[in-house]
């Protein structure tokens, strides 16, 4: 892919994430590896609709330097760290889908919920060590939790999903959200002893746990 095509692919992936409900507003960030040394990342604090391909920032994977008046996402470190650690990875999505964010808030390892999850994520989804946004703790925790996996939870934050292509990273993101929903639902059904449940059941379980 040429640089122009990569910029467009980053913009298109942002809009697709937004339209799929896997991210809201300016939250989350996306990158595609341009070559061995560079990645194309989303800009900081700009929503995906307003963002233009020329706003996508080309960042050096080793030094994090960039030559653009537009600031790259503040989470560029985490993207670069994944590319450095995983040469086979060409796209990274950091997002905050609703159900995945719930599991991330529990800082739990999610077991394999489906064959699709096993195939796309590569096993259970671990949770990286908690760290404030843009910190080394968050980055190192994510790299560790992503070992042998294509996704992980970022504690109290969201998820990181990667793939050999942006399309694959998007699919990983989607399966993490589907699996997270199934994970929560299985806990409600287990607590209520039912095969299906209503919102009333869900709140019953919640109220019983906050007593």
Partner 1 sequence: MENKFIKQLLEYCAILENDKLTEVGDCISLRAKGGIYITDATKAMKDMTADDVKFITEGANEIEKLHFAIYNAKEDINAIIMNHATYCVGVAKKCKKLYAVLDDMAQIVGRTAKVAASYDEDVVVNTLKGRDACLIKNGGVIATGRTLDEAHTGSLVLEKGAKAYVEATILGNAVKIGVIDAFIMRTVYKLKYSKKDQSAKLAEMEE
Among 3, 8, 106, 124, binds partner 1 (CB under 8 A): 106
Residue from 4, 15, 45, 167 binding partner 1 (CB under 8 A): 45
From the candidates 3, 36, 65, 75, which is the catalytic residue?
A: 75
The minimum distance between CB 207 and partner 1, in angstroms, equals: 6
Judged by CB under 8 A, the residue of 47, 60, 109, 168 near partner 1 is 47
The secondary structure of 166-207 as a DSSP string is HHHHHHHHHHHHHHHHHHHHHHHHHHHT-SS--HHHHHHHHH
Q: Quick check: 17 and 32 in contact, CB under 8 A? A: no
Instruction: Confirm or reject binding of residue 189 to partner 1 (CB under 8 A).
Output: no
Q: Is 164 in the site for partner 1 (CB under 8 A)?
A: no
- Own/partner long-range contacts of 37-43 (Cβ < 8 Å, ≥24 apart): 37/61, 37/62, 39/76, 39/79, 39/80, 39/83, 40/3, 40/6, 40/7, 40/10, 41/10, 41/72, 41/73, 41/76, 41/79, 42/10, 42/14, 42/72, 42/73, 43/70, 43/71, 43/72, 43/73
When the beta carbons of 150 and 180 are compared against partner 1, the nearer one is: 180
Q: Binding to partner 1 by residue 99, rule CB under 8 A?
A: yes
Residue 163: CB minimum distance to partner 1, A: 24
Count, residues near partner 1 per rule CB under 8 A: 39
Catalytic site residues? 75
Binding site for partner 1 (CB under 8 A): 24-27, 44-47, 50, 96, 98-99, 101-108, 130, 132-133, 155-157, 183-184, 187-188, 191, 199, 202-203, 205-207, 209-210
């Amino acid at each position: 892919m040429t640089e122009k095509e990569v910029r467009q692919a980053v913009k298109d992936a942002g809009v697709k994430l937004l339209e799929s409900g896997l991210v809201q507003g300016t939250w989350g960030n996306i990158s595609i590896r341009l070559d061995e040394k560079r990645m194309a990342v989303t800009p900081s604090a700009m929503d995906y609709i307003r963002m233009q391909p020329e706003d996508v920032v080309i960042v050096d994977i080793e030094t994090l330097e960039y030559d653009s008046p537009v600031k790259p996402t503040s989470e560029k470190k985490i993207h670069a760290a994944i590319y450095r650690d995983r040469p086979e990875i060409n796209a990274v999505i950091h997002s905050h889908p609703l159900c995945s964010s719930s599991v991330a808030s529990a800082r739990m390892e999610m077991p394999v919920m489906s064959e699709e999850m096993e195939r796309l994520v590569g096993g259970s989804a671990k949770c990286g060590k908690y760290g404030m946004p843009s910190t080394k703790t968050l980055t190192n925790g994510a790299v560790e939790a992503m070992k042998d996996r294509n996704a992980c939870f970022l504690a109290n934050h969201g998820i990181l999903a990667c793939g050999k292509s942006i399309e694959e990273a998007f699919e990983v993101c989607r399966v993490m959200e589907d699996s997270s929903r199934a994970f929560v639902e299985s806990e409600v059904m287990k607590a209520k002893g039912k095969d299906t449940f209503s919102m009333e059941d869900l709140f019953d379980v919640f109220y019983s746990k906050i007593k």
